[in-house]
C-alpha cells in the first residue's frame, strides 16, 4: 500500500505532536505514524485496580515556557507543594519555598540541611536561576552541576541531604555530572512554576495535543522501519512526503537517521505501593537519604487525589538502578514513617530510556533540519524534558514551514 502526505511525522511523543499540531494549524497536510498504541510517547498512563499509574514518576512543570502551549485548566492539575521532606535520623523536616508557605519559614530555616550560609547559598542560587535573563544563564561558565553548586557556596550537608537526592530524581543521575547550564534552566522552571499531575495521568498531556489533529491524522500501531528523503517505509507500505520529521526516542532516531547521535540514556525504576491513608499533611516529595537506594518517594494522591479510586494513598518510589520491590520496601516504609506491612505492592516499572543525558557541553538547540526534506526533533535536540521535547517540536515546525511555505511572513511562522 502506498500513501502520500505533505509532511509525515514519525512518533507521537510530545515533540512529534508539537510539530504536527503546529503544522496542521498552518494548513499543512500532516500525518503522524506512531509505533505504539497511545499518544504521548514516554508520557504513558494505565489504570491498575482503579489507580492511575504513570509509566515512572514524572510531573508537569508549569514553569516550562512551552507549558503555555497546553490548556492547563483542561488537564485539571493537582499540585505538589514546592519543596521536599528531608529525613535525618528518622525525623522528617520540611524544606519548602518560603514565598509560597511563609508559615514554614522557621521550619525551613532550622531544617538540618546545612549552615545558615548553606541556606543563603540555596536562596541566592534560586534567585539567580529564577530571575536572571536566560541569555546570562547560558553565557555563564559551564561545568558539572556539582561543581556549579559548590561554586555557589553549597556545602556538603546541603549537597548530600537536599540537592543530590532532589536533583537525582529529576536528572536520573546522582553524580551530578549534568551540565550546569541545564541545571540553571531546570532550577529556573522550579522557581517560576508549580509542579502538578493531570487528573487522568501524564498521558493526558499527549492526548490533549493529539486531539488538536483532525480525525484520521494519527496512525497508531504503525512502526516506521526506514526513512529516506521524500519517503517513509512502514510494515504496511510506503508513504511519500515532501518532508519527513523523525520524532522518535533518541536511539531510534539515530538508527533511522545515520547522521544523528544518541546521548547515553538514563534509566529509572519506580515502585508503586498503596497505603490505607496518607501519612502526610502536605503533598511533598520525600527525598532519599544519603546511601539509600531510593532517590525519592512520594504520595501521588496527596497532590492529585484522582490518582486513587477511594481515598487510599498511592505511593511512587524511585531508584536509579533497577531494584526489586522487596529490596526497597523497608526504605519506602521508613521514608513515610509507616510499617513495611502497611504497604501493598501495586506494580514496579523500569524505564530504560527515560531521558537522554545532558552532559557538558550542553548542546541546546541542536540542528533539526538535516537537509533533503529530512528533519529530526525530540528531547535529545534540546533538553531532556517535556520542555525540551515540545520546544524541539516547535522549532522543527518552523523549519518545515520555512521550506514548504517560504512566502509565509516570518512573523506568522514565529507564532507557530
Ligand atoms: C519515568 C520518566 C520520568 C520523567 N520525568 C520527567 C519530568 O518529571 N519532567 C520532565 O520534563 N520530563 C521528564 N521525563 C522526560 C520526558 O518524558 C521526555 O523528555 C519527553 O516526554 C520526550 O518526548 P519525545 O517526544 O522527545 O520522545 P518520546 O516521548 O519518546 O516519543 C517518541 C515516540 O516515537 C515513537 N516511536 C519510536 N520508534 C518509532 C518508530 N520506529 N515508528 C513510529 N513511532 C516510533 C514512540 O513510541 C514514542 O511515542 C521523564 C521521562 C520518564 C520516562
Give the pLDDT confidence of 76-134 residue by residue, as tens digits: 999 999 999 999 999 999 988 777 666 666 666 677 888 888 888 988 999 999 999 99
Q: Best mutation site among 32, 53, 56, 58 for ligand 1, i.e. most ligand atoms within 8 A of its Cβ?
A: 58
Domain carrying residue 163: 113-188
pLDDT at 175: 97
pLDDT at 263: 86
Lowest mean pLDDT among 3-7, 118-122, 241-245, 407-411: 407-411
CATH number at residue 348: 3.90.660.20
Instruction: Give pTM, 2 decimals.
Output: 0.95
Q: Are 374 and 257 members of one domain?
A: yes
User: Within 13 Å, how many C-alpha atoms sit on residue 197's CB side?
Assistant: 28
Q: Are 152 and 96 members of one domain?
A: no
Q: Are 275 and 350 members of one domain?
A: yes
Q: Are 98 and 117 members of one domain?
A: no
Query: Over the range 109-123, which residues count as b (16 or more CB within 10 Å of their CB) and which as e?
Result: eebebbeeebbebbe
128 φ/ψ angles, rounded to the nearest 5 degrees:
-60, -50
Q: Is the CB of 356 under 6 A from ligand 1?
A: no
Q: Is the CB of 254 under 6 A from ligand 1?
A: no
Q: Are 122 and 163 members of one domain?
A: yes
Q: Are 365 and 249 members of one domain?
A: yes
Give the residue from 152, 148, 150, 144 showing the smallest Cα distance to 176: 144
Please report, for residues 44, 160, 228, 257, 266, the alpha-carbon distance to residue 261 in angstroms, rounded to integers and kept in the order given.
25, 33, 17, 9, 15
Taking the centre of ligand 1 as the mean of its atom positions, its distance from the CA of residue 13, in whole angstroms, is 6
Taking the centre of ligand 1 as the mean of its atom positions, its distance from the CA of residue 245, in whole angstroms, is 15
pLDDT at 2: 83
Q: Are 104 and 139 members of one domain?
A: no
Q: Are 393 and 405 members of one domain?
A: yes
Looking at 146, 164, 188, the residue that finishes a domain is 188
Looking at 356, 381, 401, the residue that finishes a domain is 356
Strand (E) positions, 247-334?
Answer: 265-275, 285-287, 294-299, 313-319
CA torsion, points 188, 180, 61, 377, in degrees to nearest 10? 120
Q: Are 215 and 341 members of one domain?
A: no
Taking the centre of ligand 1 as the mean of its atom positions, its distance from the CA of residue 67, in whole angstroms, is 16
Q: Best mutation site among 235, 355, 376 for ligand 1, i.e. most ligand atoms within 8 A of its Cβ?
A: 355
Instruction: Count the domains in the chain.
Output: 3
Q: Are 313 and 384 members of one domain?
A: no
CATH number at residue 27: 3.50.50.60
Q: Are 281 and 345 members of one domain?
A: yes
Looking at 164, 188, 212, the residue that finishes a domain is 188
pLDDT at 416: 35
pLDDT at 106: 61
**Residues, the chain:** 416
Q: Are 350 and 270 members of one domain?
A: yes
Amino acid at each position: 500500500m502506498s500513501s502520500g502526505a505533505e509532511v509525515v511525522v514519525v512518533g507521537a511523543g510530545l515533540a512529534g505532536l508539537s510539530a504536527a499540531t503546529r503544522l496542521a494549524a498552518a494548513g499543512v497536510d500532516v500525518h503522524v505514524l506512531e509505533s505504539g498504541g497511545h499518544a504521548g510517547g514516554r508520557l504513558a498512563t494505565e489504570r491498575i485496580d482503579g489507580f492511575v499509574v504513570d509509566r515512572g514518576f514524572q510531573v508537569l512543570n508549569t514553569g516550562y515556557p512551552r507549558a503555555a502551549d497546553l490548556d492547563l485548566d483542561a488537564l485539571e492539575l493537582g499540585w505538589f507543594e514546592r519543596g521536599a521532606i528531608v529525613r535525618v535520623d528518622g525525623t522528617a523536616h520540611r524544606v519548602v519555598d518560603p514565598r509560597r508557605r511563609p508559615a514554614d519559614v522557621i521550619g525551613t530555616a532550622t531544617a538540618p540541611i546545612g549552615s545558615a550560609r548553606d541556606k543563603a547559598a540555596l536562596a541566592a542560587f534560586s534567585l539567580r536561576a529564577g530571575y536572571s535573563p536566560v541569555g546570562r544563564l547560558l553565557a555563564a561558565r559551564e561545568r558539572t552541576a556539582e561543581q556549579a553548586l559548590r561554586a555557589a557556596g553549597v556545602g556538603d550537608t546541603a549537597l548530600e541531604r537536599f540537592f543530590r537526592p532532589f536533583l537525582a530524581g529529576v536528572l536520573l543521575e546522582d553524580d551530578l555530572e549534568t551540565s550546569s547550564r541545564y541545571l540553571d534552566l531546570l532550577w529556573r522552571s522550579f522557581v517560576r512554576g508549580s509542579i502538578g499531575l493531570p487528573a487522568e495521568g501524564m498521558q493526558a498531556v499527549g492526548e490533549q495535543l493529539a486531539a488538536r489533529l483532525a480525525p484520521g491524522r494519527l496512525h497508531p500501531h504503525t512502526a516506521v522501519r526506514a526513512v529516506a528523503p521524500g519517503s517513509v517505509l512502514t510494515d504496511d507500505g510506503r508513504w511519500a512526503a515532501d518532508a519527513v520529521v523523525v520524532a522518535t526516542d533518541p536511539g531510534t532516531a539515530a538508527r533511522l537517521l545515520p547522521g544523528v547521535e544518541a546521548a547515553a540514556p538514563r534509566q529509572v525504576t519506580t515502585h508503586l505501593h498503596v497505603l490505607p491513608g496518607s501519612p502526610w499533611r502536605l503533598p511533598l516529595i520525600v527525598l532519599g537519604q544519603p546511601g539509600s537506594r531510593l532517590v525519592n518517594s512520594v504520595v501521588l494522591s496527596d497532590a492529585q487525589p484522582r490518582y486513587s479510586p477511594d481515598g487510599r494513598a498511592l505511593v511512587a518510589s524511585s531508584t536509579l538502578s533497577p531494584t526489586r520491590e522487596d529490596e526497597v520496601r523497608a526504605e519506602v516504609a521508613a521514608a513515610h514513617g509507616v510499617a513495611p506491612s502497611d504497604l501493598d505492592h501495586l506494580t514496579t516499572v523500569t524505564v530504560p530510556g527515560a531521558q537522554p543525558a545532558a552532559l557538558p557541553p550542553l548542546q541546546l538547540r541542536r540542528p533539526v533540519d538535516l537537509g533533503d526534506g529530512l528533519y529530526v526533533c525530540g528531547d535529545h535536540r534540546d533538553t531532556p524534558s517535556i520542555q525540551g521535547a515540545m520546544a524541539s517540536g516547535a522549532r522543527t515546525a518552523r523549519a518545515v514551514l520555512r521550506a514548504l511555505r517560504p512566502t509565509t511572513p516570518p512573523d506568522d511562522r514565529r507564532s507557530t
